[in-house]
Amino acid sequence: MSNDPGHKVAIRIMDKEYLVGCPEGAENELFTSAEYLDKKMREIRDAGKVLGLERVAVMTALNLSHELLKSKAEHQGKFDERIQKLNKKIDSSLAITEKTGLNE
């Protein structure tokens, strides 16, 4: 993100309004994020195991952090696998080049 503070935008989470800074042009992303957070917080609250807005927010933050880290690990694994496949292709191509003498 840039250092441009943008402007203040009102969002609603759990029936409370918050004014947050938002860079110009990023309002839709902010609204989508706020809606997603609101949905996740309501799911935790409605499950009835956590009481109080602060505790709901902390549990939601923990759940979202876990999802993010899990997703990053899965993507990293796929990325590493793809790199290994590309390395094998490169090694194979180099071996063929050496056998045929095309590298001279």
Give which of 63, 61, 53 is closest to 14, Cα–Cα.
Answer: 53
- Domains in the chain: boundaries: 7-100
Identify the CA nearest to 5 among candidates 14, 19, 85: 19
pTM (predicted TM-score): 0.66
Determine which helix (DSSP H) or strand (DSSP E) holds 48, and give its type and residue range.
Answer: none
Q: What pLDDT digit, counting tens, does each position of 41-95 carry?
A: 999 999 987 889 999 999 999 999 999 999 988 887 787 888 888 888 888 888 8
Instruction: Write the CATH number of the domain with boundaries 7-100.
Output: 3.30.160.880
